[in-house]
Amino acid sequence: MNAFSKSVTMRFESFPFAQEMLGILSIGLLGLIGYLIFPDDLAFLTRLISVSLLVLSLDLVTGYCGVATLGQAVLYGVSAYVVGNAALAGIADPILLLIFGMLAGILTGLISGVLIARFRGLPQLVLSIALGQLVVALCNKLSSLTGGSDGLAGITPAPVFGIFSFDMYSRTAFVFSLTILAIVFVLLLRFVRSPFGLLCRGIRDDDLRVQMIGARVYPRLVIMYGISGAVAGIGGALNAITAGVVGLDSVGFERSAEALVMLVLGGANNLWGALFGSIIFQIFGHYVSSINPFHWLTLVGLLLIVVVVFVPRGLSHGVAVLWTKLIGREARL
Amino acid sequence: MQTVLSIAFDGIAYGMVLFIISIGLSIMMGLMRVVNLAHGAFAMIGGYLASYAMRGLGMNYAIAIIAAVIGTIVISIPFEILLYRRIYRKSDALGVANFLLGPTLKSIPLPAALSGPMDIGFRMVPTHRIFVIACGVIVALLLWFLIEKTEFGVRLRASVDNSDMADSLGIRTEWIYAATFALAVGLGAFGGVVGAELMPIEPYYALRYIVTFLVVVSVGGAGSIVGAIAASLLLGFADTTGKYLAPEYGEFFFYLVVILIVFMFPRGLFGRAH
């Protein structure tokens, strides 16, 4: 929770589901602002939403459980490939495809969790990288399923609920993705405050103590990985459905690393941080790369260095501190 | 037989390049607890500087290497002062800050003349391979001597074991760390130049190979010279063999070996328990 949401919820504490309503309202508002700023580039916003789901999923394992991973894009990309193959096999209903993607994500997440959650620290990080690269090499090799380096093209989903068909201006795709994001985000807001979510935070802070109070760490991390896989899987499925193409970049190391950077930018261990980090990073990248296509990464890097040096715990924490200074009231994170 | 020989030769040469670059990363990780994900970028800068010195300024190979190493260290100094100094030994900040330099530096515009592998000035490729292997062995011996036998090495190990105590005994840990950082960056740049034949210098070098370097360090055990040599040679062999025998699988076998080793030796082949 960031300071803003906290202070608002403090005022409306008697309100049932205040957090959830705030989540829906903010995402709706952000969607509206996005629509007004980029009316001609809804495809970009749709991609942004898909990637922010990946960042949210990364926040679940990295921010809430302290798992160091640079292989999160595997969950995202594998599910995108599964959805692509399902669509090419004749399943056209977007909701069904989304469910397929989610299931694929859960399965991939559980498998990665079983392997990655066994370790801590550097071995964990390297294992996640190695798994990611292994999957990339496999995706490249199994070109009958993935299209190899050409990618998987020609995914044409049917209209949503049989009514709203996917148009070339990405209007349907945008609203569809935004709705999915809102639903997932609200569910996650609830989930991270559940006893399970709180125990996961405990694991991140001190796994020995969690063991001392009688909870087993490893199975919980694996389950959390499965849930994270569901979120990443939905993101990957959205990507496949709305873009119509799945490429090798969606499983690659660069995607994982970018997601981690977005999370750090916004502030880990905070769903709002993950959301705003991914939005800010991608919009900044979008603008800067259109102004200067050659050196835009340098500028993005400079932004990140500035953020890490001055607000090391992410922008959402910086906002919280600022809020405390302005309002004079303690903003608890 | 011919294939076996060339696999062995290329494997050792590749392993040595991995070793020269990774040992700098390994030292930083083992001693300062900083996962410097910008290390690949420093190797890349070294490569660019060397190629500029040779092609642009017409220096010969040996002088170009020295110039590149010194140039890279000079470039890295502001980063050390502004960024790295803040995060030494704070394991919370593990690497996150450093990742950022990777994407920053990779977008150096590449003149067409540099896009190919560098001509290192030897006529025959095997000569270069021998040169690389010799460099690797010399680097390993010198490092061992530096860390185990010299005054600097003693101070360095003291700072690593107990930074506060070393401080109160009058060791300027800040300087020790800065010197070690320079050493690590210099080794990275040296490896980048020497290994340019095997790992071509290109704008995405930093991002593409940092994963490999990180894996080598982790497999070997952070901070261990012997571990880094063993891991480099092992992974160099695995990668070369895989690429010779089943090129369509890309780096599949390399990472398969990595996963197996991580499962068998979570602390690395020669890692110390922290």
Side chain identity at residue A153, one-letter code: A
* Residues B213-235 pLDDT 10s: 888 888 887 777 888 888 898 88
Lowest-confidence region among A86-90, A93-97, A271-275, B99-103: B99-103
pLDDT reading at A264 higher than 90? no
In this structure, the dihedral spanned by the alpha carbons of residues B61, B64, B66 and B72, taken in order and rounded to 10 degrees, is -140
pLDDT reading at B123 higher than 50? no
pLDDT value at position A103?
A: 94
Neighbours of A319 (CB within 10 A): 20
Q: Minimal Cα–Cα distance from A253 to chain B, Å?
A: 9
> A152 pairs with which residues across the strands?
A246
Domain annotation covers residue A200: yes
* Residues A48-68 pLDDT 10s: 999 999 999 999 998 888 888
Q: Minimal Cα–Cα distance from A295 to chain B, Å?
A: 6
Range of the domain at A37: 23-252
**B102 Cα distance to chain centroid:** 14
Domain annotation covers residue B38: yes
pLDDT value at position B13?
A: 85
Q: pTM of the entire structure?
A: 0.80
Range of the domain at B137: 2-90+102-107+120-264
Tokens of A104: 């694929």
pLDDT reading at A166 higher than 70? yes
Domain annotation covers residue B175: yes
Domain annotation covers residue A227: yes
Q: Residue A98: pLDDT band by 50, 70, 90 thresholds?
A: very high
The secondary structure of residue A40, as a DSSP letter, is T
Residues of B in contact with A123 (CB under 8 A): 218, 262, 266-268
Cβ–Cβ of B249/A308 closer than 8 Å? no
B98-125 average pLDDT score: 42
Residues of B in contact with A313 (CB under 8 A): none
pLDDT value at position A233?
A: 94
Q: At what angle do helices B205-220 and B39-55 cross, to 10 degrees?
A: 130
Cβ–Cβ of A123/B218 closer than 8 Å? yes
pLDDT reading at B102 higher than 50? no
Domain annotation covers residue A164: yes
pLDDT reading at A15 higher than 70? no
Share of chain A above pLDDT 70, in %: 91
Cβ–Cβ of A261/B104 closer than 8 Å? no
* Residues A106-142 pLDDT 10s: 999 999 999 888 888 778 888 888 888 888 888 888 8
Quick one: B149 exposed, middle or buried, by C-beta within 10 A (0-12, 13-18, 19+)?
exposed
Domain annotation covers residue B168: yes
- Report H helices in A193-312: 195-205, 207-212, 217-243, 253-266, 271-291, 296-310
Q: Which residue has the higher pLDDT, B261 or A225?
A: A225
The whole-chain average pLDDT of chain B stands at 75
Minimal-distance CA residue of chain A relative to B219 = A123
Residues of A in contact with B256 (CB under 8 A): 134
Total domains in the fold of chain B: 1
* Residues B27-75 pLDDT 10s: 887 777 777 777 877 888 887 787 777 766 766 677 777 888 888 888 8
Cβ–Cβ of A123/B256 closer than 8 Å? no
C-alpha B167/C-alpha B162 separation (Å) is 9
Contact status, residue B189 vs residue B76, Cβ threshold 8 Å? no
Tokens of A167: 């148009």
pLDDT reading at A258 higher than 60? yes
Q: Is the ipTM of this complex over 0.85?
A: no
Q: At what angle do helices A253-266 and A315-327 cross, to 10 degrees?
A: 10
pLDDT reading at B125 higher than 60? no
C-alpha A181/C-alpha A184 separation (Å) is 5
pLDDT reading at B271 higher than 60? yes
pLDDT reading at B106 higher than 50? no
The whole-chain average pLDDT of chain A stands at 83
Q: How many CB pairs under 8 A join A and B?
A: 107
B10-31 average pLDDT score: 85
Q: What is the 3-state secondary structure (H, E, C) of A183-213?
A: HHHHHHHHHHCCHHHHHHHHHHHCHHHHHHC
Domain annotation covers residue A53: yes
Q: Any CB–CB contact under 8 A between A305 and chain B?
A: yes
pLDDT value at position B50?
A: 78
Domain annotation covers residue A132: yes
Q: Residue A13: pLDDT band by 50, 70, 90 thresholds?
A: low
> Residue holding tokens 């011996």?
B141
Total domains in the fold of chain A: 1
B→A contacts (Cβ < 8 Å), by residue, are: 29, 35, 82-83, 86, 93-97, 99-107, 109, 207, 211, 214-215, 218-219, 222, 248-252, 254-256, 258-259, 262, 266-268
pLDDT value at position A16?
A: 67
Minimal-distance CA residue of chain A relative to B206 = A254
B202-208 average pLDDT score: 68
Domain annotation covers residue B33: yes
pLDDT reading at B121 higher than 80? no
Domain annotation covers residue A243: yes
